[in-house]
Every structure is written in structure tokens, then in C-alpha cells.
Amino acid sequence: MPVITIEGPQLSIEQKRELVQAVTESASNVMKMPKHSIIVMIKEIDRENVGVGGLLLSDKK
């Protein structure tokens, strides 16, 4: 079973549903595997836990 992990900002439940559906559909088509065999995991990361260029994203405007 393929596992697809997506890391990014917090999403609404509606966005998560849409994202999981779209990623599953695409992966199923590309890999020629049934949708029920594809696992999609969403890892939400707070802006205060990510630094870019020496600054936290939460500190950037």
C-alpha cells in the first residue's frame, strides 16, 4: 500500500476532504492501483514551528 504524506499549513475539514480525494484519484490513475489501497496522511505544521532564512514563518508578514 502506498502512503502519501502531505506536510503543510492547517486546513479546514473541507479542504482536507478535497485534497485527500484529489491526491487519491491522481495516485490511483498514475500507479494503476485501486483507490482503497492508497493511504494519504496530512501533517499540519504551525507557522511558529517553521523557520525560513533564519526567521519563523509566524514572524514574517
All structural domains of the chain = 3-59 (3.30.429.10)
Catalytic residue among 2, 8, 9, 51: 2
Q: What is the mean pLDDT of the chain?
A: 96
The DSSP code sequence of 30-47 is HHT--GGG-EEEEEE--G
Active site residue 9: no
> Looking at residue 5, what is its pLDDT?
98
Q: What does the pLDDT read at residue 55?
A: 95
The 10s digit of each residue's pLDDT in 31-59 is 999 999 999 999 999 999 999 999 999 99
- In angstroms, rounded to a whole number, what is the distance separating the alpha carbons of residues 44 and 22? 18
Q: What is the model's pLDDT at position 60?
A: 86
Distance CA 3, CA 59 (A): 33
Give pLDDT, residue 61: 74
